Structures are given as structure tokens and as C-alpha cells.
Amino acid sequence: MDLTAISLLVAVPEGRLFGLDEQTLFLIGLQLMNACVLAVALSYILYKPMQNFLHKRADKIKSQLDHAASDKAKANELKLQYERSLSEIEEERGDIIAAAYKVAADKQREMTNEAKREADALREQARVDIKREQEQISEALRLHIIDVSSVMAEKFVAHSIDKEAQDKLFAETMQELEEAAWPS
């Protein structure tokens, strides 16, 4: 230990922790002055750099907060733009679906009308074919009736008319046929 500390211990009256004499007060004052000088020196040496460090840190935090706020604003703007795009896409999807339904309905109507026209054409063709066949059958039946009638008339005439009457009837018929105009 230091001599001054030993002398202070010796000078301390018994039952006290330390003696409050002039030297103790002087040392306390000197230590207080040393502490003040040290505090002032350290404040000049460390306070300004610490204050600059804290200002820089505060500025950095403020810039990070500003950057975060601008990023948040950009994100909100992108979110709104995305939602608008999404709603536009939904509208466009609805328009496309409506247009597709309209095209499908028009196509269905067109196909139905085409099928009706084809069915009408087939019905008309069938009617014409049936009428033609009826006419052909009617003509064939008429010719058959004529053939049957002429066979019957020939048999009847062959039994009832003699050779002379037959020749006379044949000549008259030929005369009428020559005078009649034939359709071309």
C-alpha cells in the first residue's frame, strides 16, 4: 500500500472509518478535480465522435425507415395494380365467355337452320321423286290398260268381225291417224 494511505489509517481515530482532516479533504478535492478534468477531457475526446456516431446511426435508421416506407408504398401500389389487372382479367374473361356463348348460340342456330333447310330440301326431293314415280306408275298402268284393252278388243273383234270388215276398219283408222297431228 501507499504510504499516504497507511498514514491515513494511522491518523484515523479509533472507532471511525476515516478521519476528516485537512489532508483527506485536500485529497478528496484533488480527486474530484482530477475526475472533472478527466470528464472534460474525455467529453472533448469521446463525446463528439460518439455524438457523430449516434447521429450517423440515427440517420441510417431514418433512411432505412424511409426506404421501408417507400418500399411499402411501392408494394401497395403494385398490389393495387395487381388487383386492377385481376379485375380487368375477370371482366375480360367474362366478355370472352359471353362472346363464346354468343358464337356457340349463333353456330347452333345456323346449324339448326341448315339442318331444317336440308330436311326441307330432302322432303321436297322426296315429294318430287314420289310424284315422278306416281306419274311413271300411272303411265305404265295406262300403257298396260291400253295393251290389255287392245288385246281384249282384238279378241272381241276377231270373233265378231270378218276379214272384209277388219280391212275396212284398219283403212279408216290409218286414214284418221295420218290426218291427226302428232305431238313432237
pLDDT recorded at residue 9: 53
Using an 8 Å Cβ cutoff, are 11 and 19 in contact?
yes
Query: Is 4 within the bounds of a domain?
Result: yes
Query: Is 39 within the bounds of a domain?
Result: yes
Number of domains in the chain: 1
Whether residue 25 has pLDDT greater than 80: yes
Q: What percent of the chain has pLDDT over 70?
A: 84
Query: Is 164 within the bounds of a domain?
Result: no
- Return the amino acid letter for 119: A
Query: Is 136 within the bounds of a domain?
Result: no
Query: Is 38 within the bounds of a domain?
Result: yes
Full-model pTM: 0.37
Q: What is the pLDDT of residues 159-184, one digit of tens each?
A: 666 777 777 877 887 787 777 655 54
Query: Is 183 within the bounds of a domain?
Result: no
Query: Is 25 within the bounds of a domain?
Result: yes
Query: Can you give the residue range of the structural domain that contains 29?
Result: 1-49
**Mean pLDDT over the full length of the chain:** 83
Q: What is the DSSP letter of 46?
A: I
Query: Is 176 within the bounds of a domain?
Result: no
